[in-house]
Structure 1
Amino acid sequence: MTTSAVRVDAVRKVYGSGPSAMVALDDVELTIEPGKFVSLIGPSGCGKSTLLRLVAGLEPADRGDVRVHGVTPAQACAAKLIGLVPQAPALLPWLTVLQNVSLAGRVNPGAGRRRAAIEDLEERTTGTGPDMRELLRMAGLGEAMDKLPAQLSGGMQQRAAIVRAFGLRPDVLLMDEPFSALDEFTRESLQDQLLDLWDELRTTVLFVTHSVSEAVRMSDTVVVMAPRPGRIVDVIDIDLPRPRNQRLFEAQRFHEYEDLVRTRLHSAWRMTDAA
């Protein structure tokens, strides 16, 4: 039987204690199969980023269980199974783009071995070899490899951060609103390039977003969350053909899924206000 890429079982997370305690997550259940792109969407305070941090092993759950390919998040991190793309690109300013994306592989020489073994492929080059260069070209950074981060736009810096994460070939890639600080045009351009990379590598992705259209466009599954307490209120499978390009925005079925996700979000808010 295939092991789930991510499994969250009856998880509860509380910050603080006593009367001031805040329940960030309550009785959260989620299963993500290998190679799927899953988005978490919901209003601020619904626990999206908290759930991502639990899967990343950055915080423990107070109750319940989190597994990444059958092991704890701490074990998954030690085995280099998890990659993380935060909101800010966090590139080293004194290194070029190529050096930045290659550095992670040099300091994590074990990264990607599990996927390579499973796929019966040779390990990807973790230095400055052709694989990192190829990924940079796929992300539209072929002409920027030798530039410093300060010479790049915010969108280009975030592309480099995404390439850095994919280049390590993690089994699970966690992305915490990576496009939230970007303008709409740049955001859609980066969506294109992220989907190109994902179509090529088929890494399992757990993606946090506030954007309904972004969630529908990118995902195999959209997980709708609600606050007070943070919980999952619906799981919507997105049955749209891939690859997904800009023409998808013109498709009636795309807008039907947008309407469905918005309806579920509004319903969740009404349930919260009535509680």
Structure 2
Amino acid sequence: MPGTPALELRSVRRTYGLGPSATVALDDVHLAVRPGRFVSLIGPSGCGKSTLLRLVAGLERPDHGDVRVHGVAPATACAAKMIGLVPQSPALLPWMSVLRNVTLPQKINPGAAGRRERIPGSSGRQTAPDAPYLRELLVKAGLGEVMHKLPAQLSGGMRQRVAIVRAFGLRPDVLVMDEPFSALDEFTRESLQNQLLALWDELKTTVLFVTHSVAEAVRLSDTVVVMAPGPGRIVETIEIELPRPRGERLLGERRFHEYEDLVRDRLRRAWHDGAA
């Protein structure tokens, strides 16, 4: 349907526990994301970033409100392979090669392509990617020489790249990423940011990305969504109007640092709001 958001959350509330000890993780959250946008969620610990991500990924359901992915419920979108997930840990199968790990999702749920065709809000990527296409993605991600190795033979950064290629390999309409680079050193992190931006620029998948890094959020995103705790809520949405492609030279430019300062200022306010 023309104009259908890639992601939409309306009046979403999520509570854990019952009675006086219940914790409100998210309350009255509204968010709409246009197709093809790269959106980062950032905020203090306990503000509900990962909860919001799990709701979009169909791993949890809201207690109140509505979550839609291209106009359908996340469970429906997942059944049609419209959603890709990159968790903090790559979660690769240790007995399978890199190539087999990446191609495995294509062999599961073979009816997904037909289901995606019937969803008007989807991107129309109905054809299941073949092995040559996935090999090409691995090469573009700098993994061409290791595609026949086992995960244990790879560095942590390489394993995370495999997880990203596996998710992009589904040609998902929406890709959700939960702090995928948090355990990596700064040099490896910046290298993977480059690889992620290159793949995203080619495929233009809608991305919802959780991070604690202000620099990472500014560099990667079209939009940075600032959240506050107590209860978890969205307090500000900042549009990052920096040119693309965003190479490493951008990190030294004045406008980049101005956006960093702006996001940090809003984060400080979010922190004070949560502590008040």
**Shared topology, TM-score over 0.5?**
yes
Report the TM-score when normalising by structure 2. Answer: 0.94
Report whether the alignment pairs 1:193 with 2:224.
Answer: no
CA-to-aligned-CA distance 1:104-153 (integer Å, 9 cap, x gap): 112143556748x9767782533x2x211111011110111111101000
Per the TM alignment, residue 250 of structure 1 is displaced from its structure 2 partner at its CA by 1.0
Within the candidate set 137, 140, 145, 1:138 is matched to 140
Query: Deviation digits for residues 78-116 of structure 1, max 9, x if unmatched?
Result: 12111111011011111111111011112143556748x
Equivalences for 1:1-275 in 2 at 5 Å? Answer: 1-110=2-111, 114=116, 123-126=127-130, 128=131, 130-274=132-276
Kept in 2: contact 1:216–1:238 (CA 8 A): yes
Identical aligned residues as a percent: 71
Gaps of 5+ in 2: none
Q: Summarize the Cα distance change of 1:65–1:155 in structure 2 as closer, same or farther, 3 Å threshold.
A: same
RMSD of Structure 2 on Structure 1 (CA): 1.7
What are structure 1's unaligned runs of at least 5 residues? none
How far apart are the structure 2 equivalents of 1:124 and 1:250? 41
Secondary structure of 1:244's aligned partner: coil
For 1:177, give the aligned amino acid: E
What secondary structure sits across from 2:145 in the alignment? coil
- Three-state SS of the structure 2 residue aligned to 1:143 is helix
CA change 1:273–1:101 in 2 (3 A) is: same
Q: Name the count of aligned residue pairs.
A: 271
Conserved? CA contact 2:129–2:170, under 8 Å: no
1:65 partner amino acid: D
Counterpart of 1:14 in structure 2: which amino acid?
Answer: T
Supply the distance in 1 between the matched residues of 2:266 and 2:70 (Cα, whole angstroms).
30
CA distance, structure 2, for counterparts of residue 139 and residue 267 of structure 1: 38
> What is the TM-score with the length of structure 1 in the denominator?
0.94
- Structure 1: distance between partners of 2:31 and 2:139: 35
Query: Are the equivalent residues in 2 in contact too, given 1:155–1:186 (CA < 8 A)?
Result: yes
Q: Is the alpha carbon distance of 1:8 and 1:121 closer, same or farther for their aligned partners in structure 2, counting shifts above 3 Å?
A: closer
**3-state SS of the aligned residue for 2:144?**
coil
What CA distance in whole angstroms lies between the structure 2 residues aligned with 1:85 and 1:23? 25
Cα–Cα, structure 1 residues 197 and 70, in superposed 2: closer, same or farther, change >3 Å? same
